[in-house]
Structure 1
Amino acid sequence: MVQKRTYPGTLVLVVGSSGVGKDSLLAGARNQLTGHASFSFPKRLVTRKPVSDLEDHDTVTFDEYLGLVSKGSAALSWQAHGLGYIIPKTIENDLEVGKVVACNVSRTIIADAANKYPVHVVNIVAELELRAKRLANRGRENEDSIRRRLAREPIALPTDIPTTEISNNGEMRVGIKALVDLLVSLQTQNQE
């Protein structure tokens, strides 16, 4: 068995069902923590162009995605909904210097991430009606597709990995504050 490398930083995996507001909370936290060198919000690489300002990712073709994964340039990678996603290997530089690194990922890669890095999961939750409204407002899918997406059963979270649940049912600023408070708390723990 390969021994897990030790990093002084923490990788925060932000997860949650479609429409809970993961990208919105991450964007708000990033804005509030801008200028603080202890935090990193890496851009994902996705095989789709961003549809809104809240989608902070870089676009790659599917062939580029496959090439990056095969070359080992991805810290984490997964495929979902016909798309490929990558968290770049550069996060290891941030973890090495003790940063809290926060990114939006699929629940399917939590165990893989925890085998490589010190991980804390943030599970964002929101009521079904609110999620439906947010998905409709994104304008990426038709009503049928949204209904199918909302009907999917969420993948269970591992029980042996530290996890914090944040409700994003109210004003966005409340969810952002909860996320920022958690990230600051994790950074304080890293420095102890």
Structure 2
Amino acid sequence: MSGRLIYLIGPSGSGKDSLLDAARERLAERDCVIVRRVITRSAEAVGEDAIGVSPAEFDQQEAAGGFALSWRANGLAYGIPRQIDDWLAAGQDVLVNGSRAYLAQARQRYPELLAILLQVDEAALRQRLLARGRESAEQIEARLARNRSFVVGGASAATVAAEAPPTPGSTERLIVLNNSGSLEQTVTQMLHLLSDNRTCA
């Protein structure tokens, strides 16, 4: 049986990197691989455990078919190595740190992917963004505004997941995972969620 792609999305500062780091060993025990993204960001930059490349190197890899998925956002280019197709074909589940804006395209290539939206209360999100010190106050407020405007099918993602049963092929199939509390609580909730949806089980 083929594995399943788990597509984690959420606003910057929602804690995706921290969640993946905290859950890494327990996911590995369930034969679930967390993918290292290729990003046009220097290796010295603060952030996730990614593979940093130059824009020219990224373009070369992309043109050579080196990525299963790739997109641009916030002035950077992101790529998911093509190796994930081998892992999926071997029956392993694969978890990627994806892009909200690229979800529809990702679902076209992987129709059965499980999309998880990591959400954080706005007050907590603002505090985390300020604590990171990566952006100005204006940039942070712009990020918060984009987060408020994120809608799927005309409703908030939380509303869609809670109230609207998904239809086959719908891009509105999102499972919301709240990360406003403790990280350990979120890890536990995610593992239960994955087991309930018969991935990484």
| Superposition TM-score, scaled by structure 1 size | 0.85
* Other-structure match for 1:169: 180
- Find the residue that maps to 2:118 and give its secondary structure: strand
Q: Is the 8 A contact 2:32 2:200 kept in 1?
A: no
Among 157, 168, 190, the alignment partner of 1:179 is: 190
How many residues are aligned here? 182
What is the identity, as a one-letter code, of the residue corresponding to 1:130? A
Write out per-residue CA displacement over residues 73-109 of structure 1, whole angstroms, 9 at most, x where no aligned residue: 1111010111000011100011101111111111122
* Other-structure match for 1:26: 20
* Other-structure match for 2:102: 109
Give the stretch that moved more between structures: 62-71 or 145-154: 145-154
Among 126, 131, 135, the alignment partner of 2:125 is: 131
Structure 1 residue runs of 5 or longer lacking an equivalent are 1-6
Distance 1:49 1:185, change over 3 A: farther
**Partner Cα distance (2:191, 2:149) in 1:** 25
* Other-structure match for 1:47: 40
Distance 1:38 1:66, change over 3 A: same
Q: Is the 8 A contact 2:124 2:180 kept in 1?
A: yes
* Other-structure match for 1:3: none
* Other-structure match for 1:156: 151
Distance 1:15 1:157, change over 3 A: farther
**Partner Cα distance (2:49, 2:73) in 1:** 18
| Superposition TM-score, scaled by structure 2 size | 0.82
Give the CA deviation at 1:123. 0.5
**Partner Cα distance (1:106, 1:143) in 2:** 23
* Other-structure match for 1:17: 11
Q: Is the 8 A contact 1:10 1:95 kept in 2?
A: yes
Q: Is the 8 A contact 1:47 1:59 kept in 2?
A: yes
Within 5 Å, give how 1:86-105 maps onto structure 2.
Answer: 86-105=79-98
Give the CA deviation at 1:49. 2.8
Aligned identity (percent) is 31
Give the CA deviation at 1:154. 4.3
